[in-house]
């Protein structure tokens, strides 16, 4: 399967922490990690090449959102451009909250890992051991491991059901959304024998969220609010409803491109999104989330290593002239690309009017967050330049 670099970061798993040095290099251990890693290059400082490039992208209306670069716990560059709400003339700022899209999958995977750490879930167990209502070919064959690594054969409940929009329009609570989504997930047919291929699966992660709810005896949304957002100290992080997204001045509206120009897409959203893509945060919240993960506030050391280690290698990414070779893996939530001898670990998320990017670089101590309220892949040139400048590949 041919995938581009942004797809790889969004879809693939992480490198072993012990091998890559993340355990000693996270922002939670910044003093020890900073030694011997050099200073911030001029190209990444305020007024440098990267800063000027982002400003030019915004000037051309090719970027709207927030950029945050952190190096060994120290903020290096924070910039916000464009409008969170064009109609009300509310600009994007450092405290603006954005939809995270599929970055939510990392929260979902960590929630499951917390339950696994408690001995309540097993990665090798079958889906049917936790949830009922699935056909036998899925319930008796698909493992939790395969669901997390997108090797289960499960598909996309939204894209594979023509009547999904009509049904989703009737849902007006978090419970109705989860129940409704899982009705569609249970109807899905496997695309291949589990474990024999790769297919990015929103259905699998929705089901993982349902397992979290079933095992924890909490709603999925409340579990993540308590055990991920609050535990990480993420200000403003939440699962906001469509009315809140529309009315809260702190939340950036999603603007998608149409033949007549960019239009606000918030009215086309579900009441709330699923465990595959429903979380919101500002940029600083994602940095705190990274600190909490690397500082073992969310999981113990062993399970942090488990969550962020490579599980299933993917086909080599197509080489582009002038760019470094990339090697990717499918993992348990976070994604990874090995580029120019360095790991890039994180995830992206996107949909009409949503383009979220969150990565950390364990070798050099960087955390980068690019949150954009324009269409998916809008931030592609910004992400690529950051990669090149951080990993030293020009």
Q: Domains of the chain (ranges plus CATH)?
A: 5-347+358-391 (3.40.710.10)
Do the beta carbons of residue 102 and residue 347 sit within 8 Å? Answer: yes
| Helix (H), strand (E) counts: the chain | 17, 14
Structure tokens given for 26: 């996270």
Distances (CA, A) of 35 to 22, 39, 344: 14, 10, 20
Q: Is 271 left (phi over 0), alpha (psi -120 to 50) or beta?
A: alpha
Q: What is the pLDDT of residue 317?
A: 65
Q: Give the per-residue pLDDT at 113.
A: 98
b (16+ CB within 10 A) / e for 227-258? bbbebbebebbbbbbbeebeebebbbbbbbee
pLDDT value of residue 309: 82
- Predicted confidence pLDDT, tens digits, the chain (394 residues): 333 333 444 443 333 332 222 222 333 333 334 433 568 999 999 999 999 999 999 999 999 999 999 999 999 999 999 999 999 999 999 999 999 999 999 999 999 999 999 999 999 999 999 999 999 999 999 999 999 999 999 999 999 999 999 999 999 999 999 999 999 999 999 999 999 999 999 999 999 999 999 999 999 999 999 999 999 999 999 999 999 999 999 999 999 999 999 999 999 999 999 999 999 999 999 999 999 999 999 999 999 999 988 888 877 767 767 677 788 888 899 988 888 888 888 999 999 999 999 999 988 999 999 999 999 999 999 999 999 999 886 5
pLDDT score of 315:
73
pTM for the structure as a whole:
0.90
In this structure, how many other beta carbons lie within 10 angstroms of the beta carbon of residue 364?
18
Tokens of 12: 């693939």
């Amino acid at each position: 399967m041919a995938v581009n670099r942004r797809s790889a970061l969004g879809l693939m798993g992480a490198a072993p922490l012990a091998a890559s040095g993340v355990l000693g290099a996270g922002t939670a251990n910044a003093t020890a990690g900073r030694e011997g890693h050099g200073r911030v290059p001029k190209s990444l400082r305020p007024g440098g090449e990267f800063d000027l490039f982002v400003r030019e992208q915004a000037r051309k209306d090719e970027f709207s959102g927030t950029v945050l670069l952190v190096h060994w716990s120290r903020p290096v560059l924070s910039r916000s451009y464009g409008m969170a709400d064009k109609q009300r003339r509310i600009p994007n700022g450092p405290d603006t909250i954005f939809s995270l899209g599929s970055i939510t999958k990392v929260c979902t995977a960590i929630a499951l890992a917390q339950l696994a750490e408690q001995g309540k879930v097993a990665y090798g167990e079958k889906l049917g051991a936790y949830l009922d209502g699935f056909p036998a070919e899925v319930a008796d064959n698909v493992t939790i491991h395969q669901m997390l690594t997108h090797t289960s054969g499960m598909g996309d409940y939204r894209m594979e059901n023509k009547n999904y929009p009509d049904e989703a329009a009737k849902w007006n609570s978090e419970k109705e959304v989860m129940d409704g989504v899982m009705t569609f997930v249970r109807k899905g047919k496997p695309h291949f024998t589990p474990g024999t291929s790769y297919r990015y699966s929103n259905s699998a992660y929705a089901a993982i969220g349902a397992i979290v709810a079933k095992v924890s005896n909490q709603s999925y949304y409340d579990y993540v609010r308590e055990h991920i957002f609050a535990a990480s100290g993420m200000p403003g992080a939440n699962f906001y409803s469509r009315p809140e997204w529309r009315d809260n001045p702190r939340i950036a509206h999603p603007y998608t491109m149409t033949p007549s120009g960019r239009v606000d897409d918030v009215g086309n959203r579900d009441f709330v999104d699923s465990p595959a893509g429903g979380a919101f945060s500002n940029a600083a919240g994602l940095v705190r989330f990274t600190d909490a993960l690397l500082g073992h506030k969310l999981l113990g050391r062993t399970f942090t290593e488990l969550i962020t280690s490579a599980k299933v290698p993917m086909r080599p990414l197509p080489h582009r002239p002038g760019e470094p070779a990339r090697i990717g893996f499918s993992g348990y939530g976070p994604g990874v690309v090995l580029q120019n001898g360095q790991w890039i670990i994180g995830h992206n998320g996107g949909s009409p009017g949503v383009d979220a990017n969150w990565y950390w670089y364990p070798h050099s101590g960087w955390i980068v967050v690019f949150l954009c309220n324009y269409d998916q892949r809008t931030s592609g040139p910004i992400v690529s330049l950051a990669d090149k400048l951080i990993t030293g590949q020009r």
